[in-house]
Amino acid sequence: MLNKLWHQIARLALILGLVSLIGLLLARAIVLLYARTRLFTVKDVASHRVAIVFGAGLRRDGTPTTVLADRVQTAATLYLEGKVEKLLMSGDNRFIYYNEPESMRRYALSLGVPDEAIVLDYAGRRTYDTCYRARHIFGVKSAILVTQGFHLPRALFLCNMLGVTAVGVSADLNDYRKISRTVWTTREWIATLAAIVDLLQHKPAQVLGKPEPIFLEKP
């Protein structure tokens, strides 16, 4: 009796594992195919009014991690080469001593981007939040997304599904450690499936506020 029960539990676990794996594979395949024609280099991307820069963590001293610094540097290049007019820097600022957007701003200033070209979103805790707020708080209708290649497919899919017509530019400026790339890629498989579920079912509540359009519409 007990052996039969364990066999049934093992069989159920196997089925659930296979279903989960199929879900992960399918979700990732969908966003990869979706992003394939929307990826460009800094040189080749068409001009847009706004580039959205996604947060990626800070060091203990409050400076950007290598990954985040590469994103800001890529966005700064887009601005300095006349590809965009504004940089929307979106990150986490839930805690008083953790301020991704401000750190991104300071680094962009050091690269020659003028302060008036920088817009900060302090509630970009997740990719979903950043895309949603870009459209509904900052009035962004189209943009260049700036992040690493492993993250771009999900970011492109989410932003386009949430009302921001977006293309992407990779910020892979450094040879990141293999173990880091493996962790990021594995995380993306899980995050991608979660993103699709959010879009189709959960539709999580966002941290909103008063609209702050980057560009005022002409009357």
**Domain segments of the chain: what residues?**
29-202
Cross-strand partners of 88: 52, 119
What's the token pair of residue 130? 């950043």
- Name the E strands within 42-186: 50-54, 86-90, 118-121, 142-147, 165-170
29-202: CATH superfamily: HUPs (3.40.50.620)
pLDDT per residue as tens digits for the range 187-202: 887 888 788 888 876 6
pLDDT per residue as tens digits for the range 95-145: 778 899 999 999 999 999 999 999 999 998 889 999 999 999 999 999 999
Q: Which residue has better confidence, 4 or 187?
A: 187
What's the token pair of residue 205? 């509540």
- State pTM to two decimals: 0.84
Measured CA to CA, the distance from residue 133 to residue 212 in angstroms comes to 10
Neighbouring CB atoms inside 10 A of 117's CB total: 16
